[in-house]
Amino acid sequence: MRIKLTSIMVDDQNKALEFYTETLGFSKKFEIPMGEYKWLTVVSPEGPDDLELSLEPNANPAGKTFQQAMFGQKIPVAAFESSDIDADFQRLKAQGVVFTLEPTPMGAVKIAVFSDTCGNLIQIYQPVGA
């Protein structure tokens, strides 16, 4: 058993694809239409290309309730590692991304938190000394 796929719920898959590729810089792996929704995954060009993040619809009411509650409590639902968090912060900020936490040292890491515009807060982190 291994971890090859994880997911984030999004409120609009087209908007999510645009944000995760054009703004964050990930690459689209699969986009398979399935009725009103699609099987949509992205990969990071800086990581193994078979480690996928699925951008799944939050159409299920339970998922939407969970997502909005996490967001309202400022809890990130995913964390991506950055090799230069200050540069990523500046790059994303210049593209209009909203941060709720600017790069901040916190123990063994420096972290920042931003909105993915699809209903989630995402944390980026850089291990200290990396």
d(CA 96, CA 83): 21
The residue (of 21 and 60) whose beta carbon lies closer to other proteins is 60
Which residue lies nearer to other proteins by CB, 56 or 88? 56
Strand partners, 7: 54
95 or 108, CB closer to other proteins?
95
| Smallest distance, other proteins to C-beta of residue 59, A | 5
Least distance in Å: CB of 123 to other proteins?
15
One-letter identity of residue 84: D
Strand duo 5-10 + 37-43: pairing: unpaired
3-class DSSP assignment, residue 123: strand
Min dist CB 129 to other proteins, Å, is: 25
**Comparison of 6 and 108: residue with beta carbon closer to other proteins:** 6
Whose CA is closest to 81, among 41, 122, 28?
122
**Do residues 113 and 122 touch, judged by C-beta distance below 8 A?**
yes
Q: How far is the CB of 55 from other proteins (least distance, A)?
A: 11
| Pair 126, 81: CB distance under 8 Å | yes
Contacts with other proteins, residue ranges (CB under 8 A):
2, 4-5, 7, 9, 11-12, 15, 19, 30, 32, 34-37, 39, 48-51, 54, 56-64, 68, 71-72, 74, 93, 96-100, 102, 115-119
